[in-house]
Amino acid sequence: MDEASLGQGLWRAVVEQLAQEMPEQQFNTWIKPLTAVVSDDLSKVTLYVANRFKLDWIRAQYAGRLAAMLEETYGQPVAIELAIAQRDAAVRTVVRPVRTGAPAAGYASGTSSGMGLGPSYGPASRSGGGYQQNAQDYGGDGFRGNAAQHAAQHEVAPAAASGNSSEIDSINGSGNFRNRLNPALTFDTLVEGTANRMARSAAMHVAASPGHLYNPLFIYGGVGLGKTHLVHAVGNKLLADNPDAKVLYIHAEQFVSDVVKSYQRRTFDEFKERYHSLDLLLIDDVQFFANKDRTQEEFFNAFEALLAKKSHIVMTSDTYPKGLANIHERLVSRFDSGLTVAIEPPELEMRVAILINKSRAEGTEMPEEVAFFVAKNVRSNVRELEGALRKILAYSRFNQKEISIQLAREALRDLLSIQNRQISVENIQKTVADYYKIKVADMYSKKRPASIARPRQIAMYLAKELTQKSLPEIGELFGGRDHTTVLHAVRKIGGERQQLTELNQQLHVLEQTLKG
């Protein structure tokens, strides 16, 4: 394999992994448009961006993670340079060197073997959780701290939209209607298991007979469990049966942006006509409507209009309807008026099946014993499974070795070193109690003031994330509490972690303290 091909393969492996880990909207906005130029010796990568705003944002939010992924994939440090691409042949370079692993910075320089990120690098098989990319995987704001999210929180149009075709044009513009569905996400490619069986069954019923039972269908669960895959599958099945149906998949952040742009451009009548004329609306992560009164009002109007004309609505969220914060009561009651189903973390057999199926989709057979080894060590969600799989495939490809348990150990050595550090629930309780300045005894007491209940929930969440203990076992160690109490704490803290930067940073500190 020549140097140019190796360079292309190195960058492609990183991009493919990001496509799985990042929310689709953020991937398409920030990573997909990059043009990468890899040096002949693979020691440097230059990333060309459209303008200063994007350069600064990518440097602050993604550069550290990109450098770490390049080093992890290649096995040696890879310097990164960020440069502003000009419309003509000249390229103005902005160099900000930083060591690999630094949290937010640009890097050194590089030339040669360039490749643009065209459509082939888009997410091929994102599974679950939209747009809530696992911020906890990377600490800080992670991939969620983007301009679109900031804009959505304040109901203003994102600054990063300048120079790009706007999303609202896909709703309001003339011409073919864009449904925004990923054709790769179907019921056939969704692995069924105990964790998602009820949700999958309800979704298939909706796809086969929209507008009747289970309207609206509200699917909730943690990050990376397959919610987004499921809603795309509903849309793809309906279009397969009825190609003329008007179907739209959209993330709640984008709905907020569309509302704002419609007001700004005075195209709101067209906006309402388009949304209200749908046969099926699929909307991801409705918890992002929190504190956005104008958006909630418009979604309520669209909701009522669609139900009145027997159109179907399928929504996802990180929590059940009544657990949503800062959403109008009348909207919550609408969410809860149809069928509400949960998706749980996948059990061992389901994780094994997911790994085998997805490796086949990548054109590689993963031995069953390797799949079991990985599944036993990656337990939290589908997205982390996919990330582990891609690391193994990339490691196998670059080292030209067959996939085996030993190769999986080498590829996942960082993950396994964390897993093997025997973190105890008792240590978690003590660490969290010290951090929040409460007594360890409060962890298993019956006291319920917020100053105690909140740290207790955080400790339960960390116990589930960092130990092999079951929910009942954790509950027992927290004063004999029921497993449903632990489950509620895990979901609550996990969901809030995606939205609250301060909480995410606190959890990151606690995790690093516990992991040593």
Annotated binding site: 224, 226-228
Tell me which H or E stretch contains 136: helix 135-138
484 Cβ contact partners less than 8 Å away, ≥ 6 residues apart: none
User: Which three-class secondary structure state does DSSP give residue 143?
Assistant: helix
Q: Please answer whether residues 432 and 462 qualify as being in contact, where contact means their C-beta atoms are separated by less than 8 angstroms.
A: yes
| Runs of H (alpha helix) within 62-106 | 63-74
Query: Do 26 and 146 form a contact (C-beta atoms < 8 A)?
Result: yes
Question: How far is residue 150's CA from residue 501's CA, in Å, rounded to a whole number?
Answer: 12
The values of phi and psi at residue 454, to 5°, are -65, -55
Task: Read off the tokens for 113.
Answer: 């073997």
Distance CA 182, CA 189 (A): 12
Which residues lie below 8 Å from residue 106, measured CB to CB, with a gap of 6+?
Answer: 55, 59, 63, 80, 81, 82, 94, 95, 96, 97, 98
Annotated binding site for ATP: 224, 226-228
Cα→Cα distances 34→4, 62, 82, 84, 492, Å? 18, 12, 10, 10, 35
User: What's the CA gap between 334 and 447, in Å, rounded?
Assistant: 34
Dihedral sign from CA coordinates of 465, 470, 471, 473: negative
Pairing of strands 35-38, 44-49: antiparallel
Report DSSP state, residue 327. Answer: -
